Amino acid sequence: MAELKRNTPMRNLIGLVSGAGTDMDTLNNNTALLEHQASMYQAMLAEQQAVIRETQAVVREREAAVREREAVVREREAIIDSLRAGQARSSLIAPPPAAEADLPAYITALLPQLEGWCTPRKALWLADLVSNMSGGRIGEIGVYGGRSLIPMALAARNRPDAMVYAVEPWRNSVAVEQATSPENDQWWREVDLDKIKLGFLTALVDCGLTSLVKIIELPSDEARGAFHAMRDYRFDLLHVDGSHAPGQALADVKNWLPLVAPGGILVLDDIGWETVASARDHLRATCDIISEISEESDICYGAYRTRATPQPPSHAWENRLSEVLA
Ligand SMILES: C[S@@+](CC[C@H](N)C(=O)[O-])C[C@H]1O[C@@H](n2cnc3c(N)ncnc32)[C@H](O)[C@@H]1O
């Protein structure tokens, strides 16, 4: 028995199982010892499992950080690619022709290289309006990639009084400040306006228009305030193609119409859109219609001549400006 007590619990257990003689106390002691050891091993196991879980959480965290960094790298690679594409594309833009007679063919070939919606027919129509008007002061609200502004600037480039103001913020938040439609707003939330602006600036350089075109990188309401300082400034032709949200389209027409010279032209884009209808109706009521053109699908635009009597001053933009500046 004394020998059995000196034995290890495991040996005792082996003894038990193999049928060696023992007493109840020893058996109980050994069982308790074994249970104690088992619970110790279980505690150690639970501890190890907790360590493993913690390590796994750290690994998952690091994997997420790596994925985030990979996304940043991909984004930067895309920017580099788009810059390269811009450079590659810009090298394809040939300098404009010296002869005015060659301008329509040049504009037609140039248009697919510019981002935007202006169709070849509208671009040539705008260029024609510019070539035939008496003054050379041109403005555009809503430039995007310059697809309508560049043809107008090209048509004006040889006039001694030519000056083209480009009002465009290139900011997604401004483009969706007022709702137009869910699909439209979603598109404008996501479009890369930095890339569009880069394409426009590159095209301006390639077309030799940098000294003619003055960029006002502001929303139209704020840009309108800048023109307030130039009290006597009047446009001979103003193309309104900014926000198509009902409130902003009407505000642009009402606020900027007084800046068009008597007998000058205001061109409004997308006059068939329901959201632009009130802006179009304001022009129909206050100006003479030069032409309203419908191309296929929903492409339509109109040109309106301001009447000789000066437009009543509009103070709506001043209120809007003070809201913006508040
Ligand atoms: C339809 S795109 C202009 C397209 C261009 N004129 C063409 O023919 O390709 C409308 C532009 O208006 C700009 N825009 C939106 N809200 C504006 C605002 N409040 N003031 C000035 N521009 C705005 C947008 O950033 C966008 O580039």
Q: Whose CA is nearest to atom 14 of ligand 1?
A: 242
Residue ranges lining ligand 1, Cβ < 6 Å? 116-118, 141-144, 147-148, 167-170, 174-175, 219-220, 241-243, 248
- The predicted pLDDT at position 117 comes to 97
- The predicted pLDDT at position 4 comes to 42
Residues 190, 149 within the same domain: yes
Summarize pLDDT for 179-221 with one digit per residue, the tens: 999 999 999 999 999 999 999 999 999 999 999 999 999 999 9
Ligand 1 atom closest to the CA of 170, numbered from 1: 25
Residues 156, 288 within the same domain: yes
Q: How far apart are CA 1 and CA 279, in angstroms?
A: 110
Looking at the structure of the chain, the number of domains it has is 2
Ligand 1 mean position to 116 CA, how many Å? 10
Residues 206, 75 within the same domain: no
Residues 77, 105 within the same domain: no
Residues 177, 62 within the same domain: no
Domain stop point among 91, 108, 136: 91
- The predicted pLDDT at position 79 comes to 66
Residues 127, 62 within the same domain: no
Ligand 1 mean position to 290 CA, how many Å? 23
Residues 87, 109 within the same domain: no
* Residue 25 structural domain: 1-91
Summarize pLDDT for 302-314 with one digit per residue, the tens: 999 999 765 555 5
**Residue 173, token pair as written in the block:** 């938040």
CA distances (Å), origin 154, targets 1, 146, 303: 114, 11, 19
CATH number at residue 218: 3.40.50.150
How many Cβ atoms are within 10 Å of 191's Cβ, its own excluded? 15
Ligand 1 mean position to 241 CA, how many Å? 6
Domain stop point among 40, 70, 91: 91
Starting at the edge strand found earlier in the chain, the sheet holding 300-306 runs: 213-216, 163-167, 137-141, 235-240, 260-269, 300-306, 287-294
Q: Whose CA is nearest to atom 18 of ligand 1?
A: 219
Residues 318, 179 within the same domain: yes
Domain stop point among 56, 91, 126: 91
Probe residue for ligand 1, chosen from 143, 237, 275 as the CB with the greatest number of ligand atoms within 8 Å: 143
Task: Please answer whether residues 267 and 238 qualify as being in contact, where contact means their C-beta atoms are separated by less than 8 angstroms.
Answer: yes
Residues 141, 81 within the same domain: no
- The predicted pLDDT at position 165 comes to 98
Ligand 1 mean position to 219 CA, how many Å? 9
Say which residues have a Cβ less than 8 Å from residue 108's Cβ, sequence separation at least 6. Answer: 120, 123, 124
What is the phi/psi pair of residue 262, to 5°? -55, 130
- The predicted pLDDT at position 313 comes to 52
What's the pTM? 0.72
Residues 8, 71 within the same domain: yes
Measuring CA to CA, which residue among 223, 222, 178 is closest to residue 324? 222
Measuring CA to CA, which residue among 157, 112, 156, 116 is closest to residue 133? 156
- The predicted pLDDT at position 321 comes to 57
Residues 285, 220 within the same domain: yes
What residues in the chain have per-residue pLDDT under 50? 1-6, 90
Residues 129, 44 within the same domain: no
- The predicted pLDDT at position 5 comes to 46
* DSSP character at residue 10: H
